[in-house]
Structure formats: structure tokens, C-alpha cells
Amino acid sequence: MTIAIAVPMLTGIAAALLAQAPAHDFPCERLRADILEVRDGFGAATGPALGAVRVRRNAVLLDQTFGLVAETFTLADDDLATAGGTMPPIVFQKYRAGEALLFCTQMRRDNLFGAGEGSHQYALRCLADRDGDGAYESFSRRIRLVRIESGRGPPAPAAAPEAVEQVALAAPVRLVSRAGLDLREGGYKPRARSRITVRNVDGGNVEIRFSDGISLMPAGVEDHILEAAETIVSVPMTNGAEVPILGRRFRFARQGGRWTAAVLDGDGRPPRLHCAGSVVETGDTFTILTPGGQTVVARREFDRRPQP
């Protein structure tokens, strides 16, 4: 069996990428050689209503998500915006390649891009307006997919970087901004997610686990946080006391021999965007938004230094 995947551009070099980076921000200048997604902000936080929860192992105190918002575009010409008339509009999103802003799609539409040999072996198709008249007359294929053969054997050598080839469109096209379009045909919905759970209870002390990262699956599908960085904090519980922990306030109460805990401010650690919308900070992690995937780096990597 043969499958194709997009190569994670930054996997395996996270520590080197962040070596000697300041602890208060992300080293965006280190990302200039990569094509990255661009997000414009976050939707409103969603999650269960806050309230007192019995303190016991694995109890969930907070499970909150923030949708990643990106401006979406489609073709102004309705005849080219759909393939076959019944398919959804072709959707473009902003990407960055160094300082250049690109408008690319992950959708494969032969009526626009053609069905030539190798045309489906790339993750992105990016429009180009080379004469600056506002219409896009060509496109380039970016991020070659790597074919992996099932079975054992030596790993394939890394492919050499390819020159960007411009392919002429049958006719120039224009883009229009249109909200509410799905960025991916496969239904994946990237969003920032924070979970706070009880890890352990020992008498009057409780260990609280903070998990932050990116989730992908749409609503209603079993989900988890991808490569989440976990932080464990142990605190004593005092009846009626408000305790600040990692930017959030907790209230502990003892009722009939049982402890309860409530998170008083769910948005105490809201996610942030860095690097013109290509890096998401969630808790103690930074997620680099690569086409077709993400690379997650823990904040603790900031403190690592190359060994002499």
C-alpha cells in the first residue's frame, strides 16, 4: 500500500530553532524559509459553564476551545469558483513564504489547475499576479507530498529543494473575500484548546494539570489536544479561599467532607498569535501552523542552549 503525506517542515529541529530565543516571545525571524498558514484571530471561547466540581482524580475543571479564524477567499467568476456546479466553492487562504504573502488552496480542482502529470503531488496551489493588475494569471505548486511505501526498508533520501515553477492559468482570475467558507474539504477544524483536570488528591493537597495545545477534529467527533504540553501544579486547598494558579483563579470549598473546585475566570490564559498569525501560543506551548499539519514547541525549549 502506498500513501502520501505532507512533510512536516519543522519536525525534529524545534530545539535548534528556539535556541537562545527570548522567553517572552517567539523567534519569528527563524521561520522565514518556510511556508506557513496565516490566521487572523480567535473566535469566542466555547466550553462548559464554569461551576464547582468535585475534586477527585481526572475530574475536569475546564475544557475550553477558541476557534482559529482566517479570512477566506474564492474566485470572483462563479463558473470557475465551482467544479462541476455541485461542489463547494474553491477556497483560498493566506500563507506566508518569508516576507511574501501568498493566496493558496489545498483543494485540487482540475478545471482550474489542470490534471497534468504530478499535479496532485503537492499540498498547495498558490496564485500569482506577476504583472500587478489585480488578476492572477498563473499559479505555482508548493510543498511536495512524499510517497511512503508500506513495509520495511531504508528511509528514502530527503528531496532537494525545487525551484518554484509558474504554470499559466487558462484565463486570469480574481479573488473576492467571503466569510464562512470551509478551509478544508476533509472537515478538520483547527482550534486552540485548554483543559484543566485534577491529576491527584492527597489529603488537603491537590495536583492540577494544565493541558494546552491545538485540536483538529470538528464538533461532535472524539478529540484530543495534539502534542499538548502539560503543567502540573500542586496546591493546598483552603475552604472558601481563592487561589491564583498560572493566570487563573480557583476557589476551593469543603462540603460534607468533600472538596470542590471552581475555575472563576476561564479566559485567564487566552491564546495569542505570533509571527503575523503563523504561530499560536496556548499556555506553555507554541504551535507553528504549517500547511496540512502543525509543529508544537514547548516553552521550556526557550531555556535550552546548544551544548559546547
Read off the C-alpha cell for 40.
487572523
Task: Give the residue, 220 or 27, on which the prediction is more confident.
Answer: 27
Q: Is residue 209 part of a domain?
A: yes
Q: Is residue 199 part of a domain?
A: yes
Task: Give the residue, 155 or 118, on which the prediction is more confident.
Answer: 118
Tell whether the model's pLDDT for residue 112 goes beyond 60: yes
Please identify, among 177, 210, 231, the residue that sits at the C-terminal boundary of a domain. Answer: 177
Nearest to 142 by CA among 177, 187, 96: 96
Q: Is residue 251 part of a domain?
A: yes
Q: Residue 23: its pLDDT value, please?
A: 42
Q: Residue 185: its pLDDT value, please?
A: 52
- Whether residue 90 sits in one domain with residue 57: no
Tell whether the model's pLDDT for residue 70 goes beyond 70: yes
Task: Give the residue, 33 or 161, on which the prediction is more confident.
Answer: 33
Beta bridge partners of 242: 251
Q: Is residue 11 part of a domain?
A: no
- pLDDT bin (cut points 50, 70, 90) of residue 144 is confident
- Whether residue 162 sits in one domain with residue 82: yes
Report whether 176 contacts 168 (CB < 8 A): no
Nearest to 114 by CA among 93, 135, 83: 83
- Whether residue 46 sits in one domain with residue 123: no
- Report which DSSP code applies to 11: T
pLDDT digits (tens, 9 = 90+) for 6-54: 333 333 333 333 333 444 578 888 787 678 999 999 988 887 667 899 9
Report whether 187 contacts 218 (CB < 8 A): yes
- Whether residue 263 sits in one domain with residue 192: yes
Rounded Cα gap, residues 236 and 265, in angstroms: 20
Domain count, the chain: 2
Q: Residue 72: its pLDDT value, please?
A: 93
- In the predicted model, what is the mean pLDDT of residues 132-147? 87
292: left (phi over 0), alpha (psi -120 to 50) or beta: left
Report whether 233 contacts 210 (CB < 8 A): yes
Q: Residue 255: its pLDDT value, please?
A: 85
Rounded Cα gap, residues 94 and 71, in angstroms: 7
- Whether residue 266 sits in one domain with residue 122: no
Nearest to 288 by CA among 126, 298, 105: 298
DSSP secondary structure letters along 241-272: -EEEETTEEEEEEEETTEEEEEES-TTSS--E
Instruction: Give me the domain span that covers residue 102.
Output: 72-177
- Whether residue 195 sits in one domain with residue 166: no
- Whether residue 251 sits in one domain with residue 229: yes
- Whether residue 236 sits in one domain with residue 268: yes
DSSP secondary structure letters along 76-102: SSHHHHSSTTTSPPP-EEEEEETTEEE
Please identify, among 120, 148, 177, the residue that sits at the C-terminal boundary of a domain. Answer: 177
Task: Give the residue, 156 or 179, on which the prediction is more confident.
Answer: 179
